[in-house]
Amino acid sequence: MVNIGYHSARIQGQFNRHLYKKALGQLVSIPIKQTRQIPLSVYALSCERDLPEQVANIRSFIRHVGIPNTFTVISDGSYTKSSCNLLQRIHPCVEIIPLEKFLRTDIPQCVSDYAQLHPMGKKLSALMSIPVNGATIYTDSDILFFPGGTDLINLANSEDKYTRYLPDCACSLDNRIVYEDWERANPVNGGFILFKHELDWSFAIERLGNLQELPIYFTEQTIVHLTIHYNHGVPLCLQKYVLNVEDQFIYPDKFASQKIALRHYVNDVRHKFWLKAGV
């Protein structure tokens, strides 16, 4: 039996994305109604393929959370000059930096090798290079922010120094670098992180360096998972910071609301991103 709701949502999402992509030139010229300045720096790594998602991601953050000190898009190297110009037209806080110019000079060789092999290696090297001078956010481009995102301002202004992470809805780890069963607990999703201090990555990077086989897609997330727990990271509230795929096979977005801070529209529910992405 055909699941009409699921297939309708996918078709609607594809259609909405097509329209959004065609209208990007006009959309980025529409002023975002926001004057609230917030004490945060935001970073995102993305590519030319994900330009529409990146535009929607930035606009939703500014609209619902506020204007950060900077919103830095780290280009994986595929963004064209015209796409970079388009992104910068969204708001004066937006800047574009090529990955090769963003990376720290002391990135471990095993991470550099991973970056040469796989896009997720590029993401790992970018995460390790983010300067943390005060509250700092990393966000994937397939995240939309909602009015409850003002909660991030409270977290940014809090006096504690805990890194906060988005709990994953599945244990998507590279088991070759997880040595103990208890290390799989409380899986971390690498799509959204609120840094309050520089992380010590050495514990997990040593395991990457000892890996005899090639790293894979989930190796990056496993390094992030191990590192955040090693640095005593704290999970974000699941009711406000949503990563859930339970509504994958129905038409509506079951979790988006005025009360949540964000939803990470991972691959299984990526089409729902375009049911909620506004101007």
Query: Is the pLDDT higher at 278 or at 22?
Result: 22
pLDDT number for residue 278: 78
pLDDT tens digit string along 43-100?
999 999 999 999 999 999 999 999 999 999 999 999 999 999 999 999 999 999 999 9
Rounded-to-integer distance, Cα 62 and Cα 91, Å: 9
Q: Which segments of the chain are extended strands (E)? A: 41-46, 70-75, 94-98, 136-139, 143-145, 164-167, 188-195, 234-235, 241-242, 262-264
Cα gap 141→81, rounded to integer Å: 19
Cα–Cα distance for residue pair 260/145, rounded to 1 Å: 8
Cα dihedral 199, 201, 202, 207 in deg (nearest 10): 160
3-state secondary structure of 135: coil
Kindly tell me if the per-residue pLDDT of 170 is higher than 90.
no
For the cut 70, the answer to whether the pLDDT of residue 279 exceeds it is: no
Q: What is the CA radius of gyration of the chain?
A: 18
Closest CA to 200 of 232, 175, 234: 232
Q: How far apart are CA 175 and CA 170, in angstroms?
A: 14
pLDDT at 171: 87
- Rounded CA-CA distance 139/11 in Å is 26
Which domains are present in the chain? 34-276 (3.90.550.10)
Ramachandran sector of residue 186 (left: φ over 0; alpha: ψ -120 to 50; beta: rest): left
- Say what the pLDDT of residue 2 is: 78
pTM: 0.96
What mean pLDDT comes out for the span 167-191?
A: 94
